[in-house]
A and B are shown apart, each in its own frame.
Chain A
């Protein structure tokens, strides 16, 4: 594996390998000295075009635990602010010969483009509303800590599916691990044609009792002004997961950050069924495992700069 661009491209075997590796890092994490020397001398660039707290900090910490050197570039205050194109930014950062570029972008397909433009491994930390594969892997890891296997599990993903890359990646990942997934939310926030991915769709929580796992999505407040839902009040009354709706044997997940009192009621956030803290913990070890999987043992020295490979466009000669 060279890149992690999306769950769609991952095989079950590749997922299992990452999850196993994460398990062994979880054990390292219980030691006093949590650092391993695996990626000493390698450089990892985090290129973030969107605000992020948990994904960015988790990637930074994961790289440091593996002894890599880390640089994080955020769009605000960088050359990106000055209008530099993604392609030029990637060329600039690639000049540092990084082992990996971790990219978050507001646009679908950005990670795939970066992979075409750099020799470094590329990890998609979220591209538009498309995919967020590291989140999906950490969610599978978290569930496996509790459930052993996801085969035959009923998972409901509830909320703003239309604008959620987490929903898409989790749907694919849960299905690959054998779970049955239902997407639930207001009809205005369920994308037309999503059933083609092999999931069920529900517009109310009447059958939520079937779920073994309830995965609530963040309800972005700006969706109100675009009239996707009439009001937060109506949304909460129909779709909020609260102690009345969440059964005692159901597990609760959320990718964070939570709008307390909107998609989740305060009491379920702090309930024993909530896996939200475990998800953050998993995030660290899963991202370590991903970096390890892509980078360890592939100590690629920068190739000598020879003649350009055949087919490379040169000036005046369109590709």
Chain B
């Protein structure tokens, strides 16, 4: 929802970033305000996933130029865990598997660490059990999820649900969901979208990184950005997604290249 005078949550200007010397982002601009949902779309290799990793602070990427501010605070020198404590959340495209670490203990540690950083009370295991039950219900997950090893042997849909579960308990100010819709069947997509819609409010923002318009049928974005060659080449409202679905990316790429030359 777009509201006037909303606080700017993420301000990205002229952001250039590289990995192993290869420049992926080349002057990317995006401003995200509280209450808004943004969708970032674009062809393969356009820099969408890189953008989400750079915001979360992945150590392989280095920021070469531009600004990356979260609520007016410069992020570039902060470690990923410090960014998480500030309220940035990245929903992984490929959540990693960690055998032997139970999902429940991982979630509790993450929750208590972030709560502690926000000056709130930590929960003991029993209190946490009660707290997480309501979140599990929201996503139609069974309590047996907590006993299993973190993402180990999870199906694609279960992994993505688990990402949204983490989003639900960490209550981030900025949630970036990197291709959360890929590998989901329609039912799972609906559950995940419903979860995101329920969690999203006036004081936080969501950025969806996606290939397909399908997800946007369930989560309505306020803005859509088309990224190519590491830059935003077009920004529009949700009607842009429909146009992309029917016409592909080609016309925007051409429009863009002709306007440059």
Q: Do A and B make up one complex?
A: no
- Mark A residues whose CB is within 8 Å of B: none
